Amino acid sequence: MNADLQNMNVTVLMGGDSAEREISLKSGTAVADALESAGARVTRLDTAAKGWHRDLPVETFVFNLLHGVGGEDGQIQGLLESLGVHYSGSGVLGSALCMDKAKTKLVWQSLGLPTPDFQIIDNRSDLAAVIDRLGSVFVKPVSEGSSVGMSTATDVSSLERAWVKAAESGVAVMAETLVDGDEFTVAILRGRPLPPIKITPASEFYDFDAKYVSGTTQFECPAPLNEEETAVLQALALEAFDASGAEIWGRVDLMRAASGWQLLEVNTVPGMTEHSLVPKAAAAAGLSFTELLMEIYLGSMEVRHGA
- Cis peptide bond prior to 224, omega within 30° of 0: no
Task: Tell me the H-state helices in the chain.
Answer: 21-37, 75-83, 92-99, 101-110, 127-134, 156-167, 208-212, 227-243, 277-284, 289-305
Active site residue 251: yes
81 is known as an active-site residue:
no
Query: Which is catalytic among the residues 253, 297, 299, 304?
Result: 253
Closest CA to 197 of 80, 109, 285: 285
**Number of C-alpha atoms within 13 angstroms, CB side, residue 176?**
24
Of 265, 299, 300, 304, the catalytic one is 265
Compute the distance between CA of residue 193 and CA of residue 182 in angstroms, rounded to an integer.
Answer: 19
212 is catalytic: yes
Options 27, 90, 151, 267, the catalytic residue = 267
Please list the residues that pair with 132 across neighbouring strands. Answer: none
> Which CA distances in Å does 75 have to 29, 37, 90, 191?
22, 30, 12, 24
265 is catalytic: yes
Catalytic residue of the set 15, 16, 18, 20: 20
Decide: 184 and 220 in contact? Cβ < 8 Å: no
Is 297 a catalytic site residue? no
Which residues are the active-site residues? 20, 146, 212, 251, 253, 265, 267, 271
